[in-house]
Structure 1
Amino acid sequence: MNTHTQIAVIFDMDGVIVDSNPLITATWKAFFATHGIELSDDQLNHYVFGRMGKDTLRLVFGEDLTEPQIAAHLKKVEEGVWEKYQQQGVIVPGFKAFVEKLLADGIKIAIATSSPSQNVKVVMEMAGTTSLFTTITDASQIQHSKPHPEIYLKTADKLGVDVTHCVVFEDSFSGIQSAKSAGMHVIGVTTTHTPAELAPLTAATVPDFTSISVAQIKAIAQQLETATAK
């Protein structure tokens, strides 16, 4: 690869920037319980992570939910998640410093999340990175939930970077599938699943952003054989 080829790093948000999946799980669990529905952790993993809220609701309640019902349910869930973010949300270690290194090296950055824009705003403030991200694709801008590749294709288009030069940080199976279907390289963040679960699906796995370097990102973007933090 030409050394001047533009590279981009795209971050999912929940479970990648903020270790929020336990908070999201607890919120959805409590919400479904108020409707007399008990879901196992495996079911929640399948129905919730990487998906837009409206798709989670349809998967659990069925396809005949009306738009007003969906809106009312989502409002309750989003208020619960927002509250938990602010009380208990923890930013994944090393995130801001890593983003600053990418920018210093001329690498483009973006966020691609199935969460609503107000949640993104809260997390960016928590991380101290509000001014660093100018490209954000959230739930309001997409029609199809992950594992559909739409969100990543749209984000690469906004960045003006070829999909084959994009490296994505993801924590969920649906997110990894979404990025790979878009033709991108994926690094698995092991907040939600174990390294053993993610390693076969990704170019590398990391526990957080203190154990990955810009050089490793470049190597992955160039499809070089690397022994990154697996």
Structure 2
Amino acid sequence: MLQEIGFNGGVPITEEFFAENIAGKHNDDIAAFLFPDDIQWGLKFTDDKETMFRRLAKEQLEPVSGIYKVKKWIEDRGLKRAAVTNAPRPNAELMISRLGLSDFFEAVILGSECDHAKPHPEPYLKALEILNVSKDHTFVFEDSVSGIKAGVAAGMPVVGLTTRNSERSLMEAKPTFLIKNYDDPKLWAALEELDKKSGTSTDAA
């Protein structure tokens, strides 16, 4: 879409540009960064982007490998869980529904419905409040730099997923560790350690 409107002289943006300036960020921030001279027009552009995303997601959305295995692990232990996202509500609800997770999440917290979106910790702090859990017994899965920063700033251990962004950029946000997907042996070793800590209640956001 940027190429169509002649952004950057019509030269396609790079994966690195996307990861650094767009991925995981709230549309208000994206619009202000891409179109500082006309933010209102930029917001219309990002709205159109989301419409296109939803159309493509209906056809192409695929679950990250191992997600249903983790889902079962969480459900078997009766953990509370929330989805915390900078995505617009129609996108979040579409993706959650398409992945069969509508009954899984007890709450969906949107950056746009907080005073501050990620990378600010507020969306995760709101999730803790809604679930009525302590940050000391909670962990986060995140796949963006802004998301990892938000979880870390909220005081929780964050497992970073390298599904889109580079390991280098994700590590700079200080996750506890990185995994390639939910089948990663590093994740299951960590979950096994959690299981060994008997009497400890843990929740996932």
Q: Do the two structures share a fold, i.e. TM-score over 0.5?
A: yes
* TM-score, normalised relative to structure 1: 0.73
Change beyond 3 A, Cα 1:140–1:218: farther
* TM-score, normalised relative to structure 2: 0.81
1:204 deviates by: 2.1
Change beyond 3 A, Cα 1:218–1:63: farther
Q: For residue 163 of structure 2, what is the aligned residue in structure 1?
A: 191
Output one character per residue of 1:114-135: Cα deviation in whole Å (capped at 9) or x when no partner: 0011112221222111111121
Residues 143 and 161, structure 2, Cα contact 8 Å, conserved in 1: yes
1:88 and 2:60 are equivalent in the alignment: yes
Output one character per residue of 1:56-114: Cα deviation in whole Å (capped at 9) or x when no partner: 01111116523xx3552232111111112112221101212311221220211111010
Q: Following the alignment from structure 2 to structure 1, what is the Cα–Cα distance between the partners of residues 21 and 167?
A: 21
Matched to 1:147, the amino acid is: P
Residues 187 and 206, structure 1, Cα contact 8 Å, conserved in 2: yes
Q: Following the alignment from structure 2 to structure 1, what is the Cα–Cα distance between the partners of residues 194 and 167?
A: 18
Matched to 1:183, the amino acid is: G
Segment drifting more, 46-55 vs 57-66: 57-66
Change beyond 3 A, Cα 1:42–1:195: closer
Q: Following the alignment from structure 1 to structure 2, what is the Cα–Cα distance between the partners of residues 207 and 103?
A: 22
1:111 and 2:88 are equivalent in the alignment: no
Residues 50 and 145, structure 1, Cα contact 8 Å, conserved in 2: no
Output one character per residue of 1:148-205: Cα deviation in whole Å (capped at 9) or x when no partner: 1111111111111112322111122221111111111011111123446545722222
Residues 27 and 43, structure 2, Cα contact 8 Å, conserved in 1: no
Residues 142 and 160, structure 2, Cα contact 8 Å, conserved in 1: yes
RMSD after superposition: 2.4
Q: For residue 42 of structure 1, what is the aligned residue in structure 2?
A: 16
Residues 96 and 128, structure 1, Cα contact 8 Å, conserved in 2: no
Q: Following the alignment from structure 1 to structure 2, what is the Cα–Cα distance between the partners of residues 187 and 97?
A: 16
**Structure 1 residue ranges (4+ consecutive) displaced by more than 6 angstroms after TM superposition:** none
Secondary structure at the aligned position of 1:145 is classed as coil
Secondary structure at the aligned position of 1:184 is classed as coil
Residues 31 and 43, structure 2, Cα contact 8 Å, conserved in 1: no
| Percentage of pairs with the same residue | 24
Secondary structure at the aligned position of 1:34 is classed as coil
Q: Following the alignment from structure 1 to structure 2, what is the Cα–Cα distance between the partners of residues 33 and 143?
A: 32
Secondary structure at the aligned position of 2:81 is classed as strand
Matched to 1:59, the amino acid is: F
Q: For residue 72 of structure 1, what is the aligned residue in structure 2?
A: 44
Q: For residue 215 of structure 1, what is the aligned residue in structure 2?
A: 192
Q: Which has the higher contact order (CA 8 A, sep 6+)?
A: 1
Q: 1:127 aligns with which of 99, 119, 142?
A: 99
1:171 and 2:143 are equivalent in the alignment: yes
Segment drifting more, 107-116 vs 85-94: 85-94
Q: Following the alignment from structure 1 to structure 2, what is the Cα–Cα distance between the partners of residues 219 and 169?
A: 21
Instruction: Point out where structure 2 has 5 or more consecutive residues left out of the alignment.
Output: 201-205
Residues 160 and 177, structure 2, Cα contact 8 Å, conserved in 1: yes
Q: Following the alignment from structure 1 to structure 2, what is the Cα–Cα distance between the partners of residues 118 and 198?
A: 27
